[in-house]
Amino acid sequence: MAQSSRAGFRKKLLKKVTARSAAKHVARRLFFPRNWLPLLRCLRRRKGPGGKSGDDAQLKLYGQLLPGGFLNYGYSENPALPPEQLSLDAIQRAQVRYGERLVDLVLNKDDGVLDAGCGMGGLIGLLLRRGLRPTALTPNRTQIRRVRADFPDVPMIEGKLEHLPVEKFRASFGTVITSESFQYVNLQQGLAVIEAVLKPGGRWILCDYFRTGTTTRQSGHTWDDFTAALAQRGWKIISQQDITANVLPTIAFVHMCGNRFGMPVAQFVTERLERKQPALHFLAQDVLGELRTQLQEHLDVVDPAIFAREKKYLTLVMERG
């Protein structure tokens, strides 16, 4: 498109979204009673049917940014690598390495492996390549569609681990793997289900982070609660490896992208709106402020210094005594 016609197109586009037209569209929606019921339904449905895990937009976004089939932080062999020298390709390789390390821990090659919280199916592919028999489980509709399409012969359990029909799957698996997924699972309910579906002598391989100190961020089980629940239910930790340093490069990379691109672009869009459409900017000021706060909160979650201070990322192998 030539520069003058591109400028004309942009002008036309901006003209269409004036403060008055935006307010008119919203008022029209609110005015007609036929819209009240759908609006009420939307308000009730804010988290979407099935809750956060049913269609998590954040995990979907990660899946689009890193299409290698994994949604975890990956295992970097070189923890000292600064984020400026990392690439999306290197992160995808680290995610495959993370998966391979977990498959290496599967000793029972004869019985099935439950990949609980299978994400986009990266680990399913690795398990199949090693001649193992995986079963996938996820509550997320996007992931269910993708895993079913990529691995049509792999059994799929749709839903949360806590809701798995235990009678149907009692003592069915030699191994359960929770790869960066147990943090989303209710602690007691999750343990009860894993105990029920594992064969006697079976092992649970977990890779995930735990909260170690006081923090306002709620993600991850606290390490003390987790180990107390394990002890109470007769679990033993067979091996434990702290891989916090190996996941930090990815976290630092995401943080750098947010700070270097996300924040400045948000600022640019706001300032441009203020200059080009002052009335619309005035009306949207509170919403924009709220969006900026949310972006900052998301950035704090991936601040490597905060993560290392408040959490530890572990690979655990567990069996019941």
**Chain positions contacting ligand SAM, by CB under 6 A:** 53, 59, 70-72, 116-119, 122-123, 138-140, 143, 160-162, 179-181, 184-185
Widest CA span in the chain: 75
> Six-digit token pair at 178?
């929770």
Q: Cβ closer to ligand SAM: 59 or 280? A: 59
**Which element (helix H / strand E) includes 226?**
helix 223-232
CA distances to 21, 187, 261, 298 from 214, in Å: 48, 19, 30, 18
Residue with tokens 């394990």: 230
CA distances to 106, 132, 304 from 111, in Å: 10, 8, 39
At its nearest, how many Å lie between ligand SAM and the CB of residue 100? 12
At its nearest, how many Å lie between ligand SAM and the CB of residue 225? 17
At its nearest, how many Å lie between ligand SAM and the CB of residue 230? 18
Q: Cβ closer to ligand SAM: 138 or 175? A: 138
- Given a contact cutoff of 8 angstroms between Cβ atoms, the answer to whether 144 and 158 are in contact is yes
Q: Cβ closer to ligand SAM: 175 or 181? A: 181
At its nearest, how many Å lie between ligand SAM and the CB of residue 123? 6
Q: Cβ closer to ligand SAM: 16 or 168? A: 168
Nearest to 74 by CA among 85, 90, 55, 87: 90
Q: Cβ closer to ligand SAM: 74 or 83? A: 74
At its nearest, how many Å lie between ligand SAM and the CB of residue 25? 35
At its nearest, how many Å lie between ligand SAM and the CB of residue 59? 6
Report phi then psi at 35, rounded to 5.
-90, -10
Q: Cβ closer to ligand SAM: 123 or 317? A: 123
At its nearest, how many Å lie between ligand SAM and the CB of residue 211? 16
DSSP tag of 260 = I
First-residue to last-residue Cα distance in the chain: 70
Output the residue with the shortest Cβ distance to ligand SAM. 119
Q: Cβ closer to ligand SAM: 143 or 277? A: 143
User: Would you list the DSSP string of 126-156?
Assistant: HHHHTT--EEEEES-HHHHHHHHHH-TTS-E
At its nearest, how many Å lie between ligand SAM and the CB of residue 197? 13
Q: CA angle 243-87-117, nearest 5°? A: 50
Q: Cβ closer to ligand SAM: 180 or 273? A: 180
- Given a contact cutoff of 8 angstroms between Cβ atoms, the answer to whether 211 and 222 are in contact is yes
